[in-house]
Amino acid sequence: MVDLADLTTIEQPNWCPGCGNFPIWHALKSAIIELGIDPFNVTIFSGIGCSSKMPHWINTYGFHTIHGRPLPVATGARLANTDLTVVAVGGDGDGYGIGIGHFIHAMRRNLNITYLVTNNQVYGLTTGQTSPTSDRGFSSKSTPTGVIEVPINPIALAIASNATYISRGFSKELNHLTQLIVDGIRHEGFALIDVLQPCVTFNRKNTYKWFSERIYKLEDTNHDITSKQAAFQKSLEWNNHIPIGIFYEETRPTYENELPQIAETPLAKQEIQDIDITSVMAEFF
């Protein structure tokens, strides 16, 4: 039986007071507890940014990668040991900026990875520059006269990239977010959970109050999560009405399940004592 003590680390987070990362941290731990997964069977990968410190503060296996690279490293782990529960965590700058190529390819491959993106629409760790998801007109130290680009729409991009579980949470809605993470980990395939996470220090526009006045839950409507067309229409909603919940879900074979080399036994558990690599060495050396 897994409890909070099993996931508690000696070190504690040093995020700003009120940071939206705190409830995301709590929701991820709560999801692991609810699912009853032993901590030694969970590996959390992260990139660079405030949220990417997450593996340091949850007592599972963890790997703090470089900027924008949690997904390729998580891919390697997933292919090496398909018995692991693999979770990747990163910010909007990490995942939708420098890491966007990895994001698209991991989704189309349908690797069995749960990807939590803590989307605060700003580069928080480097003190408040504009990020790929910053709203048009957003003023920051890197865009003092306001953002002129159209922001990345991660939900629409995930739909177009054939992800099989696409959702959005809000860090203030803790129980709702926990359930999205539980569902994402249970889902057999790539699960995106884009989390609206207010940066209380550097984003004075997209605040808890701003989101609370606009958020509504898709499960409270007649939204059809099996329809890509319906999901895409909902993904375009912003500003006045912002949906959270599951946009789209489908069942499709995972990348790992279609690899004959690991169909029966994870790579990490295969016997290697009797493997003869003489012919391979002769070919290449």
**Would you say residue 264 has pLDDT above 90?**
no
Q: What is the mean pLDDT of residues 128-147?
A: 92
Tokens of 252: 């499709």
Q: What is the mean pLDDT of residues 180-193?
A: 98
**Would you say residue 193 has pLDDT above 90?**
yes
**Would you say residue 112 has pLDDT above 90?**
yes
**Confidence band (pLDDT; 50, 70, 90) for 196?**
very high
| pLDDT for position 187 | 98
**Would you say residue 285 has pLDDT above 90?**
no
| pLDDT for position 274 | 82
Tokens of 7: 């996931």
Bridge partners (DSSP) listed for residue 215: 242
How big is the CA angle at 89 (ends 227 and 220), to the nearest 5 degrees? 35
| pLDDT for position 135 | 93
- How far is Cα 134 from Cα 122, in angstroms, rounded to an integer? 6
| CATH superfamily, with its number, for domain 4-284 | Thiamin diphosphate (ThDP)-binding fold, Pyr/PP domains (3.40.50.970)
> Which conformational region is residue 144 in: left (phi greater than 0), alpha (psi within -120 to 50 degrees), or beta?
alpha
**Would you say residue 176 has pLDDT above 90?**
yes
Write out pLDDT tens, residues 38-92.
999 999 999 999 999 999 999 999 999 999 999 999 999 999 999 999 999 999 9
Q: What is the mean pLDDT of residues 2-15?
A: 94
Q: What is the mean pLDDT of residues 161-180?
A: 98
Q: What percent of the chain has pLDDT over 70?
A: 100
| pLDDT for position 263 | 84
pLDDT averaged over every residue in the chain: 95
- How far is Cα 8 from Cα 208, in angstroms, rounded to an integer? 27
Q: What is the mean pLDDT of residues 243-247?
A: 98
Write out pLDDT tens, residues 141-170.
899 999 999 999 999 999 999 999 999 999
The residue whose two tokens read 């209380």 is 200
